[in-house]
Amino acid sequence: MYKELVGKIVDEAKSAGANLVIWDRRDTFTVESDDVEKIEVENDYLRVQMQDGKATVYVTYDYIYKLVVEKEGTGKGRSGARAGFGAASS
């Protein structure tokens, strides 16, 4: 996944106050907007620092195969509707 694409997705999540769901080669996890102090899009990785200061997560772009902005329901359909981008890594 490319830095520019990750940056756009992170910006969208921040502006919408939405959660960020990350699938990497080992796990799937949700970065909840209320618990994040800072998200930084670095050259080779995404860095998420949690508000409590006890956890910082680094995810290398090469291992991200799906990154999704999770928005809460808009009244119709299922809640937590997701829109995002996936990438195949070689």
The number of distinct structural domains making up the chain is 1
Boundaries of domain holding 79: 3-86
**Cα–Cα distance between 31 and 36 in angstroms, integer?**
7
Question: Pick from 35, 51, 41: which is nearest to 12 by CA?
Answer: 41
Longest dimension (CA), the chain: 39
Strand order in the sheet with 28-31: 28-31, 19-24, 64-70, 82-86
CA distance 41 to 51: 17
Q: What is the pLDDT of residues 8-56, one digit of tens each?
A: 999 999 999 999 999 998 889 898 988 889 999 999 999 999 888 788 9
pLDDT band with cut points at 50, 70 and 90 for residue 78: very low
CATH number at residue 12: 2.30.30
* pTM across the whole model: 0.73
Whether 89 shows a pLDDT value over 80: the answer reads no
